[in-house]
Structure 1
């Protein structure tokens, strides 16, 4: 077993792109729950057991390089499998009267809370992880027919650069299946987004 306490770099960096171009890559595949942890033990696709022990408040990202063997031209690289995210855009609502802004935001928060969908608000956008089938989530949004609100689904990896680490954990960690959910997630999200307790 190999202990990993820091990330060497990322495949998106120019220097590493060149190094890895002809290298043999062994993938450490993480689902979205594992990707939020700073401590875990797992086997790579090549059956190498690694123990991750990163600093608190840090986690692994897609493309992170954990091991580099210069002589053997091989590397262990993280591959995250994050679900898509619904991005709700409130930009058009922001130009309306205060009354309409408040009503729309309250109704949206109530709708998300009733569905038990975790969410992260960043600027005029609301990020909601895919917790059920995308068609069902689209149907729920269309049923409410929120005036001035648009939404789209984007890959989780595309959203991460816009979020702080704690927001990423909240977004993807909060979308855990019921068997993995933590009580603090439930309280954090339901109270913050107008969940009705009726």
Structure 2
């Protein structure tokens, strides 16, 4: 089994990019949970047993070195997100705040991107839509996207990486809902895709 214990940096770093070009690196695909663990046992994309022992969150494109000098490249499995789009609707500030309070009370991770709110889907699309349906103001459209798990990294300094802003659209499950009112008071952080925290 290969054991990777040395973090070298990101594959786009000039020195590492040159090393990778001259090497035959091992590649692993990690889930969001696995990338945050200090110890992971997994398989490479070629089926070889790999152990990862690093005390940091890993990002897509990170490069590690194994005990025998082999380079290991980390890829992250995408996760599904519910996207609420405010771009085409005329949502009042009051309705937006009521929605924010209602969804914030659920303690879901949240990322903001150009007039859109993104939430990771913990269960099924149907349950996620049912959970938000009564609170969506008129004109807010919903759809689902596959996004990097780093999209939802928070501002905690223990997190090594922010979002890379890369996403893929899957499906056109767009629709809108009637306005609903639901108000609670909680303090929740918001992660913006461009890396600014509010």
TM-score by length of 1: 0.56
Take 2:40 and 2:99, find their aligned partners in 1: how far apart are those partners?
A: 44
RMSD (Å), alpha carbons: 4.1
Alignment match of 1:87 (pick from 78, 83, 86): 83
Q: How far off its partner does 1:125 sit?
A: 4.0
Contact 1:108–1:146, Cα closer than 8 Å, also in 2 = no
Aligned residues: 158
Are 2:82 and 1:105 equivalent residues in the alignment?
Answer: no
Assess, with a 3 A threshold, how the Cα gap between structure 1 residues 17 and 151 changes in structure 2: closer, same or farther.
farther
Are 2:154 and 1:154 equivalent residues in the alignment?
Answer: no
Alignment match of 1:118 (pick from 101, 108, 116): 108
Q: How far off its partner does 1:75 sit?
A: 2.6
Going by fraction, where is helix more abundant, 1 or 2?
A: 1
Q: How far off its partner does 1:82 sit?
A: 3.4
- Residue by residue over 1:158-186, the C-alpha shift from the partner in whole angstroms, topping out at 9 and shown as x without a partner, is x636854649x7xxxxxxxxxxxxxxxxx
Query: Which deviates more from structure 2 when the two are superposed, residues 16-25 or residues 26-35?
Result: 16-25
Q: SS of the residue aligned with 1:128?
A: strand
Listed as ranges, the gaps of 5+ residues in structure 2 are: 160-184, 189-198
Assess, with a 3 A threshold, how the Cα gap between structure 1 residues 33 and 60 changes in structure 2: closer, same or farther.
same
Contact 2:4–2:64, Cα closer than 8 Å, also in 1 = no
Take 2:74 and 2:121, find their aligned partners in 1: how far apart are those partners?
A: 22
Are 2:41 and 1:42 equivalent residues in the alignment?
Answer: yes
- Residue by residue over 1:122-163, the C-alpha shift from the partner in whole angstroms, topping out at 9 and shown as x without a partner, is 475433111122244345545655323233322231x63685
Take 1:5 and 1:67, find their aligned partners in 2: how far apart are those partners?
A: 5
Assess, with a 3 A threshold, how the Cα gap between structure 1 residues 63 and 102 changes in structure 2: closer, same or farther.
closer
Contact 2:27–2:75, Cα closer than 8 Å, also in 1 = yes
Assess, with a 3 A threshold, how the Cα gap between structure 1 residues 145 and 87 changes in structure 2: closer, same or farther.
closer
Are 2:4 and 1:7 equivalent residues in the alignment?
Answer: no
Assess, with a 3 A threshold, how the Cα gap between structure 1 residues 43 and 165 changes in structure 2: closer, same or farther.
farther
Cross-structure match for 2:58? 60
